[in-house]
Amino acid sequence: MKQSWRWFGPDDAVSLAAARQAGASGIVTALHQIPYGEVWSVEAIERRKGEIAAPGFGLDWVVVESLPVHERVKLGEGDLEPIFANYRESLRNLAACGLKTVCYNFMPVLDWTRTQLDAPVPGGAKALRFNIHEYVAFDWLILQRPGADQGHAPEILARARSWFESSTEASRALLLANIMAGLPGAYDRYDVPSLRAMLARYDGIDAAALRANLKRFLEAVIPTAAEVGINLCIHPDDPPRPLFGLPRIVSTEDDIAAILAMVDHPANGLTLCSGSLGAHPRNDVPAIARRFADRIWFAHLRNVAKDADGSFMEAEHLGGDTDMVALVAVLLGEERRRRSAGRSDWEIPMRPDHGHKILDDQGRASHPGYPAIGRLRGLAELRGVMAALEHKQG
C-alpha cells in the first residue's frame, strides 16, 4: 500500500519534513482555504502540488481529502446545479493536475465528533475519546434539543445530568470546542445558538431524504469523475450513529452496499476507515473490506476500543477491537488481485489515521488526532504488519 500522511497545508504544525521522516511518501491534503462549493482552480492545485513536491522530500500528493460537499447538497436545498457544476469543474481540474483519488463525506453539519481530546492512556499518553454521557449532556442539557433524552438508558441520563450539574461554564465551553474540533481546516465553528439554527434547517430530513440527496449528488458528479479518471471515495460516519437528531447514512455494511449501488460504477467508491466503522458494535471491518474490496480506493487505518454503553476511545493502531492484521491482509490481497489483472492503479493509498499524543507531541500544537510522533508510531506498526504479510505471501 502507498504509505501516506495527512497534511493540513502550510499552516500545519506538523511539517512535510516530519511526514518524510516518518516514512511516508504520499501526502493526503486539501485546499482548506477555498470555501465549500467554489471551484478549485488549476493554479491553486498546482501551487499546492509544488509545495508538496519541494526538493529533498520525495513526496507527492496522492489523495484529496476532502473535496467537500456543500451543506445545501445534503439538505437538498434550492437550485443545486451551480454547486454541482463547480464540483464537476473541480474534479476536471484535479484530474488535469494528475490527482486521481478524492475522498469526501456526507455527514450532516459536523465531521468526526469526540467529547474528549486528551483522554489519559496508561503511561501518560493522551487520546481522543467519545463519552456517551458527555454527548447526551451536551445534546439534552446544553443544546436543549427537544427529544434529546429519548432512546438513552436511565443510567446514561443520570450520568449526563450529574456531569452537567457539576460542570462549570469553562468545562461546558470546552465540551463544545471538543465537539467542534473535527471540522476540518478553517471551517467556521458553531456556538450553541448557531448550532441550534443549523440543526433547525434539517427539520424533516430523515435518513431516506438524506439518501435521496446523496443519490442526486452522485448522479450529478460520478459521470464526470468516471470521464476524467477520478475515483470518488465516500468516508463512513464518525461515529457511526445519528447525532443531535441528524441522520447518518454511511455507518454499516448495508449502508455502504446501498450507496455503491446508487451509481454502480467503480468511480463511486469507498474510503475504508477502520476506526469509523469499527466504532459500530455490529460492524466486522475485515469482512466489510472483503465484500467491497474492488471499490476501496483509499484506507484510513486506526483502531478503537468500545465500551458497552456506546462510548469509545482511540486505541493503539494494533490494539482495540478491530483485527488490524486481518484487515491489512484483505487490502494487500486486493492489491495483488489488481496487479495480476494488469491494472496500473493497483496500489491503495493508506494513512495512519489519528494517533495518541506521546512523548514530545504533548505540549506541541497539532490538529486534534494528528500529532507527529503518535502517527509515526502508527505508521511504523502498520508498515511492519505489511512487511510481515508480504514476506509470508512471498
CA distance 26 to 29: 10
Which pLDDT score, from 0 to 100, does residue 58 have? 85
Is the separation of the CB atoms in 45 and 99 below 8 Å?
A: yes
Give the active site residues. 235, 273, 300, 353-354, 370
State the pTM of this model.
Answer: 0.95
Residue 356: CB partners within 8 Å, gap ≥ 6? 121, 125, 126, 127, 314, 316, 371, 374, 377
What domains, with CATH codes, occur in the chain? 2-109+200-393 (3.20.20.150), 116-192 (no CATH)
pLDDT score at 57: 83
Sequential pLDDT tens for the chain (394 residues): 999 999 999 999 999 999 999 999 999 999 999 999 999 999 999 999 999 998 888 899 999 999 999 999 999 999 999 999 999 999 999 999 999 999 999 999 999 999 999 999 999 999 999 999 999 999 999 999 999 999 999 999 999 999 999 999 999 999 999 999 987 654 567 899 999 999 999 999 999 999 999 999 999 999 999 999 999 999 999 999 999 999 999 999 999 999 999 999 999 999 999 999 999 999 999 999 999 999 999 999 999 999 999 999 999 999 999 999 999 999 999 999 999 999 998 999 999 999 999 999 998 989 999 999 999 999 999 999 999 999 988 7
For residue 54, count CB atoms less than 10 angstroms from its CB and return exposed for 0-12, middle for 13-18, buried for 19 or more: exposed
For residue 189, the model assigns a pLDDT of: 78
CA distances from 388 to 85, 321, 339, 391 (A): 46, 21, 19, 5
Name which of 93, 234, 110 is nearest 176 in CA terms. Answer: 110
Predicted local confidence at residue 74, as pLDDT: 97
Give the whole-angstrom CA distance, residue 219 versus residue 263. Answer: 7
